Structure 1
Amino acid sequence: MGFIEELEEKILIADGAMGTLIYAKGVPKGHCYDELNISAPELIAEIHREYIEAGARIIETNTFGANRYILERYYDLGKRTREINLMGAKIAKEAAKGKGVYVAGSVGPVTRVWESEPSFSPSDLRSIFKESISALLDGGVDLIILETFTSLEELVIGYKTALELAGEDFPVIASLSFLAEGRTLMGVEPAQFAHEFQRLSANLIGANCGTGPKPLLDTVRRIGKIFSGFISAMPNAGFPNFSDGRFVYPATPEYFASFAVRAARSGVNIIGGCCGTTPEHIRAMSRAIEKVRPVKRKIITFYEGKFPKPITVPRPLPPFVAKLKEGFIFSVEIDPPKGSDVSKIIEQCNEFGSLGGSAVNVADLPMAKLRMSALSLAIILKRETKLDIILHITARDRNIIALQSDLLGAYANGVDIILALRGDPPSLGDYPFATGVFDLTSAGIVKLASAFNTGKDTLGNPIENVTNFSIGVAFNQNAQSIDSEFKRLEMKIRAGAHFIQTQPVFDPQTIDPLVEFARYRDIPVIATVMLLSSVAQAEYIANEVPGIKMPKSLIQRLQLAEDPEEESINFSIGLISELMGRVNGVCLVFPQGKFSLVRGLMTRI
């Protein structure tokens, strides 16, 4: 009797977590667990035997992350991709020999959520999948399981690649990882998943990881109403708690036994476990459904019309973006104080407004040096001035949860203009041992704010109200690879950026390529203009501050001047007059304690 034929007659129990047991047996996190197929094959074989003894009828190879991209990028093991997969299959086949147990070749996703680079074309993904799956098939696996995917498109590519290599009749399980809210990290819903694989005439799909038994069962029940083939369910053992240096999962074997019965009665055909599950969980489930027969599910017929395209209503331009397109604006960049007294900053900003200024850029810990929170200062300035407040948001200090939380808090306080930045690394600052977070790139922050502007969070879950952020991004016209800089800018614009702000400009011609780029796309540009107080400051910036190119002629001009500050103002006025025909506004940057330079420029411009 073949695998598919047996599924018609029985509910099959799959094994549980591999990584959890490897970790429990003393291999630290950070080690390449897939590589253990070569360096510690007996350890992997022991885990397989433990699951088989517990009642598993399907065991998965220890190859979840064994694709060329992951192995090379994180472990410098790309050249051993075939060897690792082949050994993984052989170890599992040997453990299952003569025991009536099927071996599933485990294939995980290539891409990682929120990795903006590198990007993979469909042909790239097919090539990577082909290498891993070919080795698993050569090792003799009985089926392939594509598991813990979040992207439907990538899963479909992996599925088609597996069938091309193994044949249309070879068993392939396609499994997505859903969160408790019922969507994957990429926003895929169960109905969308089921509908797509029903269209592909697939035999086996399911859900694994992501959540514990209850929400995962809710998800597979939704899948089972649309998909007419076999379904697998492999939940985590709840949400882990980090205690005494180890991750501890709360769900007991008894709870999993109850889950297995409910899953079987819901028409699930393959039941196993994912993160945190052990042979004891598998043993409990095996015993619980030993005499339970497969249940035929009631299928609801869907057709294309059930999935209408959403109607998009054009949204008005955010107010600040409309203002940029209507005329030329002056803004000034303010660093938060190194203490808690903001009275002088409020005074300076109000004076700037009276001199014709429109907006204030609030920097987010520039050069990674300790200062007051940029968000707190932005909220205060929004309350105490009549200026537009441009809040700089960096990826350095906050994870993806905190970034979303702070953005919603900013919007609730009227701060609705942001400049998305990567942020200077902590190594540059006064706490070089601090940890940089960098969950997202600057393009990721743009995507996040753009999602809020559609009434959803970054995972596609609805929020209670729609925001209307004006989203700005930075551009370094002095980048060593200007082509790469433009590619990153294009990515940010596609993610939803509304305006561009440059690095300090000293020669208008240096931003002419950007001006043409932005004009073609109808994106406003703000040029940064740096005011200088001395020759020493100019030489320091020219030689020690990254990302800025200052012409030697300007330094010489300051050296010859009787009053360098006055000469800097004169130079900046001439520069701005040339920029007015090119850009939509300027952002004035001045040395600490030298607001007089801004005053001098604004009274004469």
Structure 2
Amino acid sequence: MDLRQALRQRVLVADGAMGTLLYGNYGIASAFENLNLTHPDTILRVHQSYISAGADVIQTNTYAANRLKLARYDLEDQVTAINQAAVHLAVKARQTADHPVYILGTIGGLAGDTDQGIQRASQTEIQASLTEQLTALLATNQLDGILLETYYDLPELLAALKLVKQATSLPVIANVSMLAAGVLRDGTSFASAIRQLAAAGADVVGTNCRLGPYYLAESFKHLAVPATIQLAVYPNAGLPGTDAAGDVVYDGEPSYFQSYAERFRQLGLSLIGGCCGTTPLHTAATVRGLSSRDLVSRHVSQHPRTTAPLTPTSSQHPFLTKVITQKTALVELDPPRNFETDKFFRGAARLKAAGVDGITLSDNSLAEVRIANTTVAAQLKLNYGINPIVHLTTRDHNLIGLQSEIMGLHSLGIEDILAVTGDPAKLGDFPGATSVGDVRSVELIKLIKSFNSGIGPTGKSLKQTCDFRVAAAFNPNAPRTTISTKGIERKLSYGCDYLITQPVFDLANVTKLATALAASDLHVPVFVGVMPLVSRRNAEFLHHEVHGIRLPQALRDRMAQAELDGNERAVGIQIAKELIDGICTGFNGVHIVTPFNRYRTVIELVNYVHQKNLTATA
């Protein structure tokens, strides 16, 4: 009988992890899928061990055998060879079985991958990659079905399912992956995902990876979906840990899987397998744990657990409201580099008294170590009544740290963030330090804004909605004749609320930016950067040594003459005022960078910006 008939008649046991055995038992830690070509006997032994353990269903060693992932190892031209070799090895293993065995061609998800190349791939490239792999698998004419597994992104899985259904009539098992029990990371309930996948044509729908038996059983326990939908589960062997060498390990015992096998059957599942950390011992334990292979009719809960949706709030910081109609000044301060903080806070207090519209706090600018800007921000807000705009870099924080920082900022009532990559670590105090870069700055924007729905990135309810306003950085100083707005458009599409530019010293670049925004019909608040020069040496340093900044020769000549005349500060302020004049012809927002903690200079410029409002109304 074929796989569809078998699934309608009895509970089937699927195999477990491939990578766990290859890494743990065989000491192989490379492109596992390439082993189909280089070490076929090893892959064959893994399949045979699962079959000997009692697996009714095995999957091909093709989880990451697509062009985008194989490109990491310069194997992108081996897609067809790797996938077809995998199928032939699974078929060869089945020939030694003493019971019917079904083979699934496995295709893994991409959206959860942290590889920068994959993150930057377009939807067209992702679909082309999937189509190429699927075509290679189907060309063997030896598969019993297709397994789509480890998809954290439901739209990606639905798109993949559509492509597979268009290409073949084979049965399809579609597995989503959850970061928390019962909910996908975008907040979609597991039940809703199951219903959508079944409606889209999946023969069996379920979940795999990330969570162990307990949490996956809880996810199925209150699953309010039609009883006609066939379900699958592939749990991990518990939560991972690390050994003395720092390698990821799982210590979930096979006996634990044995205790859950019958529970999964009683919950109405048709296909029970294993994922990360599982071995043939776990498969054998699952077989032993089933008291029967008879299918159990599910009773849909009449009172499924639900979480009332939170209504996102939407408000604007006063400076974002003001900048629409009035000249508005933000000031950037670098947090102190030591524990003598009195001067810093005195300066901030004076800026507040001068009526500054907001203070932005850099995040270890130039990769130089400073007091954490979140700590300084909290003191400014709580002790001085200043609402800060906190820079948050992808350089210093992995995904865990970023989310923790975001939650911490909300708990402090700080809702304005500038999302930036950050200066490379090699520029600063510790050039050997690692720049993290789990996400790009545009993805950080999207991550921050996701908190406004009251749903965290794992899909869990935060019990509150946030109200983050997110700024994006933009450099109008790049050496080009025109300014492209593609980067701005992308940042806006990810949820950016306003722009803060790097300091400009050439008004021609300001004009180009205004023209480009107008031509693209982009309406977004912009705060154009101004950095007052303090000396000729300061001007030369900025011009020659700071990436992304170039000073016109005329400005450098003026500062050189000012050095001779002994009035560098006055000339630097005058140049800044001239730049503010030019900026204010096309923009209402000015972002003033404080040079060397010289607050008197900055306060003079803040007053100059505000005077323009008085002049306009006179």
Q: TM-score, normalised by structure 2?
A: 0.90
Distance 1:328 1:113 in 2: 43
Letter of the 1:278 counterpart: T
Per the TM alignment, residue 444 of structure 1 is displaced from its structure 2 partner at its CA by 2.3
Distance 1:103 1:230, change over 3 A: same
3-state SS in 2 of match to 1:105: strand
Aligned to 1:158: 160
Aligned to 2:612: none
Distance 1:483 1:295 in 2: 67
Whether the 8 Å contact between 1:194 and 1:226 is mirrored in structure 2 is no
Whether the 8 Å contact between 2:148 and 2:175 is mirrored in structure 1 is yes
Q: Does 1:91 align with 2:89?
A: yes
Distance 1:387 1:9, change over 3 A: closer
Aligned to 2:547: 546
Per the TM alignment, residue 426 of structure 1 is displaced from its structure 2 partner at its CA by 1.0
Aligned to 2:333: 334
Distance 1:319 1:468 in 2: 13
Letter of the 2:219 counterpart: T
Distance 1:59 1:530 in 2: 63
Letter of the 2:574 counterpart: N
The equivalences for 1:180-191 within 5 A come to: 180-191=180-191
Distance 1:575 1:200 in 2: 58
Distance 1:138 1:21 in 2: 28
Distance 1:491 1:223, change over 3 A: farther
Distance 1:414 1:14, change over 3 A: closer
Which stretch of the first structure deviates more once superposed, 453-462 or 492-501?
453-462
Aligned to 2:345: 346
Letter of the 2:58 counterpart: I
Question: Percent identity of the aligned residues?
Answer: 32
Whether the 8 Å contact between 1:197 and 1:227 is mirrored in structure 2 is no
Task: Kindly provide the CA deviation profile for residues 251-285 of structure 1, in whole angstroms up to 9, marking residues without a partner as x.
Answer: 21111011110111221111110001111110011
Letter of the 2:165 counterpart: L
Aligned to 2:613: none
Q: Does 1:4 align with 2:4?
A: yes
Distance 2:266 2:206 in 1: 16
3-state SS in 1 of match to 2:324: helix
Distance 2:394 2:375 in 1: 17
Aligned to 1:391: 390
3-state SS in 2 of match to 1:392: strand
Distance 1:577 1:25 in 2: 69
Aligned to 2:576: 572
Per the TM alignment, residue 407 of structure 1 is displaced from its structure 2 partner at its CA by 2.4
Aligned to 1:529: 530
Residue segments in structure 1 that go unaligned for 5+ positions in a row:
302-306
Distance 1:61 1:21, change over 3 A: same
Distance 1:377 1:212, change over 3 A: same
Distance 1:324 1:282, change over 3 A: same
Distance 2:597 2:318 in 1: 32
Distance 1:595 1:318 in 2: 24
3-state SS in 2 of match to 1:296: coil
Distance 1:480 1:4 in 2: 61
Letter of the 2:19 counterpart: G
3-state SS in 1 of match to 2:547: coil
Whether the 8 Å contact between 1:476 and 1:485 is mirrored in structure 2 is no
Per the TM alignment, residue 379 of structure 1 is displaced from its structure 2 partner at its CA by 1.5
Task: Kindly provide the CA deviation profile for residues 5-45 of structure 1, in whole angstroms up to 9, marking residues without a partner as x.
Answer: 2222221111111111111124354x111111111111111
Task: Kindly provide the CA deviation profile for residues 515-557 of structure 1, in whole angstroms up to 9, marking residues without a partner as x.
Answer: 3565644321111101112222211211111111221111012
Q: Does 1:42 align with 2:33?
A: no
Aligned to 1:413: 412
Whether the 8 Å contact between 2:165 and 2:201 is mirrored in structure 1 is no
Per the TM alignment, residue 199 of structure 1 is displaced from its structure 2 partner at its CA by 2.0
Aligned to 2:151: 149
The equivalences for 1:13-412 within 5 A come to: 13-29=13-29, 31-72=30-71, 74-99=72-97, 100-112=100-112, 117-121=119-123, 123-139=124-140, 140-166=142-168, 168=169, 170-222=170-222, 225-226=225-226, 228-245=228-245, 246-289=247-290, 291-298=292-299, 315-412=314-411
Aligned to 1:456: 455
Whether the 8 Å contact between 1:535 and 1:564 is mirrored in structure 2 is yes
Letter of the 1:147 counterpart: E
Whether the 8 Å contact between 1:454 and 1:467 is mirrored in structure 2 is yes
3-state SS in 2 of match to 1:449: helix
Residue segments in structure 2 that go unaligned for 5+ positions in a row:
610-618
Per the TM alignment, residue 56 of structure 1 is displaced from its structure 2 partner at its CA by 0.8
Distance 1:276 1:423, change over 3 A: same
Letter of the 1:87 counterpart: A
Distance 1:267 1:481 in 2: 63
Distance 1:179 1:483 in 2: 44
Letter of the 2:581 counterpart: S
Distance 2:119 2:486 in 1: 11
Distance 1:443 1:353, change over 3 A: same
The equivalences for 1:508-527 within 5 A come to: 508-515=507-514, 520-527=521-528
Distance 1:83 1:438 in 2: 33
Whether the 8 Å contact between 1:180 and 1:216 is mirrored in structure 2 is no
Whether the 8 Å contact between 1:194 and 1:227 is mirrored in structure 2 is no
The equivalences for 1:482-493 within 5 A come to: 486-493=485-492
3-state SS in 2 of match to 1:325: coil
Distance 1:604 1:341 in 2: 30
Per the TM alignment, residue 244 of structure 1 is displaced from its structure 2 partner at its CA by 1.5
Which stretch of the first structure deviates more once superposed, 325-334 or 110-119?
110-119
Aligned to 2:427: 428
Distance 2:120 2:227 in 1: 34
3-state SS in 1 of match to 2:590: strand
Distance 1:386 1:4 in 2: 66
3-state SS in 2 of match to 1:453: helix
Distance 2:515 2:227 in 1: 51
Whether the 8 Å contact between 2:161 and 2:200 is mirrored in structure 1 is no
Letter of the 1:75 counterpart: Y
Distance 1:313 1:377 in 2: 28
Whether the 8 Å contact between 1:68 and 1:79 is mirrored in structure 2 is yes
Distance 1:456 1:239 in 2: 23
Distance 1:479 1:76, change over 3 A: farther
Distance 1:360 1:224 in 2: 50
Aligned to 1:304: none
CA RMSD of aligned residues (A): 2.7
Per the TM alignment, residue 600 of structure 1 is displaced from its structure 2 partner at its CA by 4.9
Letter of the 1:557 counterpart: R
Distance 1:364 1:482 in 2: 31
Letter of the 2:171 counterpart: P
Distance 2:480 2:66 in 1: 30
Per the TM alignment, residue 602 of structure 1 is displaced from its structure 2 partner at its CA by 4.8
Which stretch of the first structure deviates more once superposed, 532-541 or 245-254?
245-254
Distance 1:482 1:440 in 2: 30
Whether the 8 Å contact between 1:526 and 1:586 is mirrored in structure 2 is yes
Task: Kindly provide the CA deviation profile for residues 329-372 of structure 1, in whole angstroms up to 9, marking residues without a partner as x.
Answer: 22222111211121001111222233342322111101111111
Per the TM alignment, residue 419 of structure 1 is displaced from its structure 2 partner at its CA by 1.0
Count of residues paired in the alignment? 595
Distance 1:587 1:318, change over 3 A: closer
Whether the 8 Å contact between 2:113 and 2:119 is mirrored in structure 1 is no
Distance 2:459 2:10 in 1: 37
Per the TM alignment, residue 218 of structure 1 is displaced from its structure 2 partner at its CA by 2.7
3-state SS in 2 of match to 1:175: strand
Distance 1:604 1:127 in 2: 56
Q: Does 1:558 align with 2:559?
A: yes
Whether the 8 Å contact between 2:319 and 2:357 is mirrored in structure 1 is no
Whether the 8 Å contact between 2:329 and 2:606 is mirrored in structure 1 is no
Whether the 8 Å contact between 1:125 and 1:157 is mirrored in structure 2 is no
Distance 1:42 1:28, change over 3 A: closer
